Amino acid sequence: MSVNFKDFLKQPYPYYFKGKNLWILAALIFGMSMGFNYFFEPFVVYRPEHKFSYFWISMIHSLNAFLCVLLIIGLNNLRVNEDKWTVGSEIVLISIVLLAIGISQFLVRDMIYANPDNWSMRYFMEEIRNTFMVGVLFAVILVPLNYLRLTKAHLKTAQSLNSQHQSELFHQQYNILSIVTQQKSDDFELNPHEFLFAKSEGNYLEIFLEKGEDTNKILKRMTMKELESQLDSFPHFFKTHRSFLVNLQKVKQVKGNAQGYQLRLKSHSDSLPVSRGMVSDFERKFKSI
């Protein structure tokens, strides 16, 4: 059971907190928090302690949540690697945000409550507990809804891309290229029409070539950047992921999911990923070839 749970935590998960999505999320949290606190009063409300109306107290609590979401996730955006984001990463980030909100709610107690025990450990733990109770409720509502939204959007776009993609039209012939590697004895010739994709493995590249109905793999000592620079005249060779360079003319099917897209290629059984950060560029490039 524990092994399965660890595997679950390592599952890829879409990172959707950047740009306007972060502001939308923060505004949504503010609105939900304001409505939940003011109309439902989920926790004990002892009005004689209030220094001003409960509406403004609810507003302060909601504003705390809004600012913590912007601050914590905004800082995370500076260091996040979207390709490595997992279910576990998502849970940790949400927990850190909730902890920050709980601490901020404790720090403003003296401003809104006339209670001599405002700075006690009891109220500190109470604010943390209350924040996690409400936060987990919001997460249970928002996370599945967003996951379904992303899945639906990518499935719909994938269907559109597949319907527009007519691979039988690609009959252009190319000259054989001489590819230079890090070792002269390892240099090789490449027929661009046969190129399926390249996968980075440290300082080596696995290069997959289409040979009739089969796929051949060659291993060369070179970086992805070195190969890209020698193939930059082919706009349909597209880096879908930091570890994959793909010939989009060989794509047989685009499959959509919450993370983005998976590509099925001719003569190759495995699916290739399109990283979350490359989704928009991939859609534009795929439509143009």
Q: Is 250 helix (H, G, I), strand (E, B) or coil?
A: helix
Residues of the chain with CATH 2.40.50.1020: 167-288
Radius of gyration of the CA atoms of the chain, in A:
26
pTM, 2 dp: 0.70
Q: Give the chain's mean pLDDT.
A: 88
Q: Regarding the domain delimited by 167-288, which CATH topology (the fold level of the hierarchy) does it fall under?
A: OB fold (Dihydrolipoamide Acetyltransferase, E2P) (2.40.50)
Measured distance CA(208)–CA(206) in Å, rounded: 6
Q: How confident is the model at residue 153 (pLDDT cuts 50, 70, 90)?
A: confident
Measured distance CA(224)–CA(203) in Å, rounded: 8
pLDDT in tens, 167-184: 444 555 678 899 999 888
Measured distance CA(1)–CA(5) in Å, rounded: 6
Quickly tell me which residue has 């524990």 as its tokens.
2
Query: So what's the pLDDT on residue 154?
Result: 81
Residue 146, C-beta contacts closer than 8 angstroms, at least 6 positions apart: 16
